[in-house]
Amino acid sequence: MGSLLETLQQEKIVAIFRGIGQAEADRAARALADGGIRLMEVTMNTDAALPILARWREQLDGLAFVGAGTVLDEKGAREAIAAGAQFLISPNLDEAVITYGAERGVSVWPGVMTPTEIVRAWKAGAEAVKIFPMASLGHRYLQELKAPLDHIPMMATGGVDLDNIGDYFRAGADAVGLGSKLVNLQWAREGRFELMEQRAREFTETVRGLGRQSNSFS
């Protein structure tokens, strides 16, 4: 399958589905895909995450790339890839997960916070890292990280919304991970999938607009 790094850097948004019900998962994912989201993950601590992932892989083929989030260890990586995950994301750094994914051509973007963790992940073979928790650290922290480590692609996750997304890209983010600000579980439960599609379109259009302002976010 090969690396999805180029897709991540081009699309710039990963939608995070955590705690969504099986009954809503498929329609919600399709709504986001219709709104322009091309990368989406279901977290492994979501009930029925593996069946959801397997269905998404079939239903969204050609529309979006699907992956697993909250992959904490090699066991989780093995289960996720067997279910069809095209990329793995975690809140932590586990080199075994990076190795397992790399050996199978599956992109792994581990969670890190400190410069030491970032470089460790990079040396272990991660093609990009997830800076987490960004809600607590803020975009200025990301900017400081990027100064000496600008060769390592970074995804900012946590605390990113429509109002501040530009701050994160200007600080050097290559992509962002969006949970509840994009994946509104209340709308999903109420069957208001048109609102989910509209929200997805707002985010994707905002990112495109930022791209037009500058050919590269730096």
pLDDT computed for residue 217 by the predictor: 45
Fold of the domain spanning 5-207: TIM Barrel (3.20.20)
pLDDT computed for residue 214 by the predictor: 62
Residue pair 188/169 in contact (Cβ under 8 Å)? The answer is no
Q: State which residues of the chain have pLDDT below 70.
A: 1-2, 214-218
Give the model confidence (pLDDT) of 74-110 as tens digits: 999 999 999 999 999 999 999 999 999 999 999 999 9
Annotated active-site residue in 24, 41, 127, 197 = 41
pLDDT computed for residue 1 by the predictor: 45
Give the domain ranges of the chain. Answer: 5-207
pLDDT computed for residue 215 by the predictor: 53
- 41 part of the active site: yes
- 181 part of the active site: no
CA distance 153 to 9: 8
Annotated active-site residue in 12, 24, 127, 130 = 130
Longest dimension (CA), the chain: 46
Angle at 175 between CA 22 and CA 122, to 5 degrees: 100
